[in-house]
Amino acid sequence: MRPAVLGGNGQVLDVGRQRRLFTGPLRRALVLRDRGCAFPGCDRPPRWCDGHHVRHWADGGATALDNAVLLCGHHHHRLLHQGDWTVRIVPDGQPDFLPPRWLDPLRTPRRNLYHRRC
C-alpha cells in the first residue's frame, strides 16, 4: 500500500489506488486548478463536472491530481471515453487535449482558456 501524498496544509492530493473517486481535498484541488470543465472552449462550472483519470483507474491509474482532469458529462463520456480525443497532464501541471487525427493531423495540443479569464 502506498501512503497518501499531502498538499501544503496536509490535505490529501494523491490516494494512489485506494479510492477511485475524486473527493474531499483532492476534488477541491482539482476545482482550483481547472476551475470548471477543462475541455477546450467549454464553460461548464465545477459543480457540473467530475474528475476523470487521465490513465484510467481500471488500467492502474492513480487517483491523484497529476492523473486527473475536471470534465463535464458531455466531454467526459462522449469525447474522451467514446471519442478519439486524448488528454495528458503536461509538466506545468495543466491538462492538454489532443484532437483526433481526422480533425487535426498534427494533433496540436489544446487548452481551455475560458476559466482563466475570470
Q: Is 24 left (phi over 0), alpha (psi -120 to 50) or beta?
A: left
- Spatial separation of the C-alpha atoms in residues 54 and 88, rounded to whole Å: 6
CA trace torsion 21, 26, 32, 36 (10° rounding): 0
Q: pLDDT tens-digit profile of 21-65? A: 888 889 999 999 999 999 999 999 999 999 999 998 888 888 889
Residue 79 in 3-state DSSP? helix
| pLDDT-based confidence at residue 115 (cuts at 50, 70, 90) | confident
Per the model's pLDDT, the better-predicted residue between 11 and 66 turns out to be 66
Q: Concatenated DSSP letters for 23-65? A: -HHHHHHHHHHHSS--STT----GGGEEEEESS-GGGT--SBG
